[in-house]
Amino acid sequence: MLERHILKLQARAPVLAEYEQALGELISETRDYAADQIVVPAYVEQVHSTLLLEGFMCRYKDLADGRRQITQVHVPGDFVDLHSFTLKYLDQDVMTLTPVKVALFPHEGLRQVTERYPALARIYWFNTNLDAAIHREWELSLGRRKARARIAMLLSELQVRLGIVGLGDDAGFDFPLTQVEIGECTGLTNVHVNRTVRELREAGVAELRRGRADILDKAALWREAEFDPRYLYLQKRER
């Protein structure tokens, strides 16, 4: 059940079989949710963290007028709210983008296992930092990249992150976000997303249709985005 999570961790550090077993035993429950459901509401105390097993989820913040900013997209293998282990409540909502399957990890169990295996605690601390690094790259996109580059960036990042967990390759990946949601990730309106997606298609860079992203020219995509994957910290090393 944890294969994808372990793949994600292993992309950055060695993971002992022991950890995988200990983690598996922590799971208190698995749940299924439909699309567009809030799974972890903001400002509510949490007693467990949620690992995404299948499907797509996101975290977002919004303004009074309802305009929404997605701050992170989650793929299978990600903890969607590991930070609730440390922060207790979240400063944002976590919702599903597609139907999903998740596993719940009680914080008390996480506390025990991270005390028993300090190396695992370091791995999760590292993951918190990785999360922040992705936020920073998004800040750069939102603040300084133009529309084409923002969308190219999003596609580049997701291609790499999905590839790690076996859900994508150089040709592309399943990508169920609507154009409204892509706009909520990139700080654009759906109308402008639509026009920009068309530009990328007409330039032979990438093609988006109904739940699928085809990467036609990965080098061009990376160039368009000025994508430098070092912020994803993919070299495996001791942490």
**Residue ranges that bind a second copy, judged by CB under 8 A:** 43, 59, 61-64, 67-69, 71-72, 83, 86-88, 91-92, 115, 118, 121-122, 125-126, 128-133, 135-140, 142-145, 186-187, 226, 230-231, 233, 237, 239
Query: Judging by DSSP bridges, how do beta strands 29-33 and 68-74 pair with one another?
Result: unpaired
- Among residues 153, 138, 8, the alpha carbon closest in space to that of 82 is found at 8
Q: Among DNA, a second copy, none, what binds residue 1 when CB lies within 5 to 8 Å by partner kind?
A: none
Rg (CA), the chain: 18
Q: Shortest Cβ distance from residue 185 to DNA (Å)?
A: 12
Among 43-51, 113-121, 145-153, 166-174, which window interacts with DNA (CB under 7 A)? 145-153
Distance of CA 51 to the CA centre of its chain: 11
> Beta-carbon neighbour count of residue 226 at 10 Å?
14
Determine, following the binding rule CB under 7 A, whether residue 188 of this chain makes contact with DNA.
yes
50: phi then psi, degrees, rounded to nearest 5 = -115, 125
- Interatomic CA distance for residues 177 and 169, integer angstroms: 18
Q: Shortest Cβ distance from residue 212 to a second copy (Å)?
A: 25
Determine, following the binding rule CB under 7 A, whether residue 98 of this chain makes contact with DNA.
no
Q: Among a second copy, DNA, none, what binds residue 178 when CB lies within 5 to 8 Å by partner kind?
A: DNA
Contacts of 143 by beta carbon, 8 Å cutoff, 6+ apart: none
Among 6-14, 56-64, 101-109, 184-192, which window interacts with DNA (CB under 7 A)? 184-192
Two structure tokens written together for 231: 């912020």
**Residues at the contact surface with DNA, assessed by CB under 7 A:** 146-148, 178-180, 183, 187-192, 194-198, 209-210
